[in-house]
């Protein structure tokens, strides 16, 4: 893994625009999984060295020629739980199209802007069970530690998404959004059962399905040996023409079925092509 923390600094320039759009999505009575209300203005105090200069009220300075800091009341009203699939099937894709790396970066981006919105985040990888990585601080130092931990992850084994989500639902005790980032290569009913368990706890759910370009259009032509990275089963076949078309149709049908099952339960679903520009992909997730 080669996730560089610099992308978090680049992501910050999207913050204001993304916040404006996500705020618009939250207006009205609709049930939305977007991140909470952020900060509420409370009062002013005089600037002291070391204060965040972004909180200086420059209009007040223009009137008084003195520096005053805007003070805010915290509203940590929402906890965002980021779950990243770390099974063997996520170890696929070349370089920047790698599925686990893309999913991990998207998850880190969600955690970063959750903290910027003054909400709490939790971060875990999932295989047969969820493995929590964060220490509960929900700050930048926490994020940098998560980058190091994720870079050390070697995707392996199988992801039991149904049992993982059912188990995770029992841990949630407050208003929450669960963001699952996975290739969803399992029975759609299993994913739906897991999402249903979360929904019963009045939890909002966003399923982000990552697909590598090499999955949509495999490079294999002619006689080829295909291997299941999780079960290690292999199959030799002649991959061309009608078989390749059948493969693409079955993949598209699986994506549609998962989306239908998830949205029927009131959850959100978005597909991310790992070959897409990262920040465009992130915007599609954050504003879903």
Give mean pLDDT in consecutive 10-residue pieces for the chain, a chain of 288 residues: 85 62 41 43 71 77 80 66 97 93 97 88 97 93 95 95 96 93 96 95 93 86 67 71 86 97 96 94 87
Cα–Cα dist 179/113, whole Å: 13
Answer yes or no: are the C-beta atoms of 261 and 191 closer than 8 Å.
Answer: yes
Answer yes or no: are the C-beta atoms of 211 and 102 closer than 8 Å.
Answer: no
Answer yes or no: are the C-beta atoms of 195 and 165 closer than 8 Å.
Answer: yes
Q: Domain segments of the chain: what residues?
A: 6-15+77-286, 39-74
pLDDT of residue 224: 67
pLDDT of residue 35: 44
**Architecture of the domain defined by 6-15+77-286:** 3-Layer(aba) Sandwich (3.40)
pLDDT of residue 142: 94
Structure tokens at 238: 């002649």
Cα–Cα dist 105/206, whole Å: 16
pLDDT tens digits for 232-253?
677 777 667 788 888 899 999 9
pLDDT of residue 217: 85
What is the phi-psi region of residue 121: left when phi exceeds 0, alpha when psi lies from -120 to 50, beta otherwise?
beta
Structure tokens at 242: 């009608």
Answer yes or no: are the C-beta atoms of 115 and 82 closer than 8 Å.
Answer: no
pLDDT of residue 62: 80
């Amino acid at each position: 893994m080669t996730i560089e923390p610099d992308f978090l600094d680049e992501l910050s320039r999207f913050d204001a625009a993304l916040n404006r759009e996500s705020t618009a999505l939250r207006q009205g009575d609709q049930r939305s999984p977007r991140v909470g209300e952020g900060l509420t203005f409370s009062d002013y105090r005089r600037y002291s060295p070391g204060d965040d200069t972004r909180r200086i009220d420059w209009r007040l300075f223009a009137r008084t020629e003195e520096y005053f800091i805007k003070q805010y009341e915290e509203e940590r009203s929402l906890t965002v739980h980021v779950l990243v699939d770390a099974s063997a099937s996520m170890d696929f894709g070349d370089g920047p199209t790698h599925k686990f790396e893309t999913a991990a970066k998207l998850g880190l981006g969600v955690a970063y802007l959750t903290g910027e919105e003054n909400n709490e985040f939790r971060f875990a990888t999932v295989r047969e069970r969820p493995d929590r990585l964060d220490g509960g601080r929900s700050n930048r130092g926490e994020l940098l530690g998560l980058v190091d931990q994720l870079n050390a992850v070697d995707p392996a084994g199988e992801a039991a998404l149904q049992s993982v989500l059912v188990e995770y639902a029992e841990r949630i005790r407050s208003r929450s959004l669960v963001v699952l980032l996975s290739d969803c290569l399992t029975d759609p009913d299993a994913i739906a059962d897991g999402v249903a368990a979360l929904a019963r706890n009045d939890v909002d759910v966003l399923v982000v399905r990552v697909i590598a370009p090499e999955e949509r259009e495999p490079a294999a032509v002619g006689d080829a040996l295909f291997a299941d990275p999780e079960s290690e089963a292999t199959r030799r076949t002649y991959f061309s023409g009608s078989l390749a078309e059948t493969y693409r149709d079955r993949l598209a049908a699986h994506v549609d079925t998962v989306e239908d099952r998830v949205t029927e339960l009131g959850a959100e679903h978005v597909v991310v092509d790992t070959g897409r520009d990262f920040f465009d992909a992130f915007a599609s997730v954050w504003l879903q």
